[in-house]
Amino acid sequence: MPAPLKMLIMAAPLGTGHKMAAATLAREAARQGFTVVTADVFSFLPAWLGRLILTGYGLLLDWWPDGYAWLYGWGNSHTGSLRLRSLINHFLARRARAFLRQEQPQVVVVTHATAAGILTAYKNSFAPHLYVAGVVTDFVVHRWWLYPGIDVYFTATGVASVQLQQLAAQTLPGVPEIVTTGIPIRRHFSRLTYLHAREQFHWEAGTLVCLLVGGGAGLLPMEAIVEKIRAAYPKRLQLVAVTGTNTGLAAALSKYPGVTVYGYTEQLPDLLIGADVVVTKAGGLTLAEALAAGPEIIIYRPLPGQEQGNTAYFIGQGLASLARTPEEVLHLLQNYQRLPESERAARLHKRQDVAEPLAAQNLIRWLREKFTAATGKQGEKFL
């Protein structure tokens, strides 16, 4: 019996979404019979340099978001950015060469543009037959995702696929294969129902559950939002906050009676499924999970760059509302509560129509069938 195909899945620690997508794909690939190896782009950097980049990235977003917006736009439009990108990728590819030669994967899946650059630089110099798949974990596509040497791209939506195809026609010698699967999210979203989720948390029927999610770092101004909402809702409201690794925010919110606070929690899928409304930042994976879970989505003050692109898509498609202040959050929450049940159901149906809860399973299955067909081997059925 032939040995299982070996898959390398590589992410970058710039934001939690890329890492979560990679972890989800790794579990699914193992379940479908691949031998799986995972790697972090920053493991190929000197430790001090990795810490410096991560610290600088965080400070830039916190203190100079307009600077990040300028860099994002410059990278998407200026040819000078591509020369810088090439230098970075070849430097990292040389540092990753020993690891890649040791592991000898047949297929590589990357969930971040930097990882895509490293693998295509390595492939074009040392391993021309290596199969590289790029998984775009936002609802928009940045130019730095475009590399000669990526065999297939997986995108969030048909709109993103068209955008990628147009960018590829302008940038690459040929247009690669592009498959619309959705963003890979945890398997849990295809299994639990709204009523079962609410029973798990003892949320009573008729109680409006508003969930605040600030990403892995708990970036939303949750205390100001909580104060504004609590002042207008004396009863029949359950506020739930997920603060991630932000322990200071968790401590501050714990002082408010009736507010349930979670730090970094594996129960986030259940919380999303059982909530009526979620107030969240606009990371691609966060929004993909919110779509699959079903609650009304309020995006709060998206960060520059891809979050603004994700927000534009969601607002344009009528999948979410945008709030810039705690007062606007309250206004949108009250508007939602005034909607007749028929309108709430119609909006939920619209979100469900574009949700892709089985994206990870379908993506890995596509790769497995691709390699089965290419090698002429009889595919094995996986549950």
What pLDDT, on the 0 to 100 scale, is given for residue 218?
A: 60
User: pLDDT tens digits for 303-361?
Assistant: 888 999 999 999 999 999 999 999 999 999 999 999 999 999 999 999 999 999 999 99
Burial of 138 (0-12, 13-18, 19+ CB in 10 A): buried
Question: What own/partner pairs with CB < 8 Å and gap ≥ 24 does 167-176 have?
Answer: 167/141, 167/143, 171/143, 171/146, 172/146, 172/147, 172/148, 173/148, 176/150, 176/151, 176/152
Question: CA torsion, points 302, 308, 314, 318, in degrees to nearest 10?
Answer: 80
Structural domains of the chain, with CATH? 6-185+358-375 (3.40.50.2000), 191-354 (3.40.50.2000)
User: pLDDT tens digits for 226-275?
Assistant: 999 988 876 689 999 999 888 899 999 999 988 999 998 889 999 999 99
Are 152 and 126 in contact, with CB atoms under 8 Å apart? no
User: Which pairing describes strands 6-11 and 35-40: parallel, antiparallel, or unpaired?
Assistant: parallel
Is the pLDDT reported for residue 52 higher than 80? no
**Secondary structure letter of residue 381 according to DSSP:** P
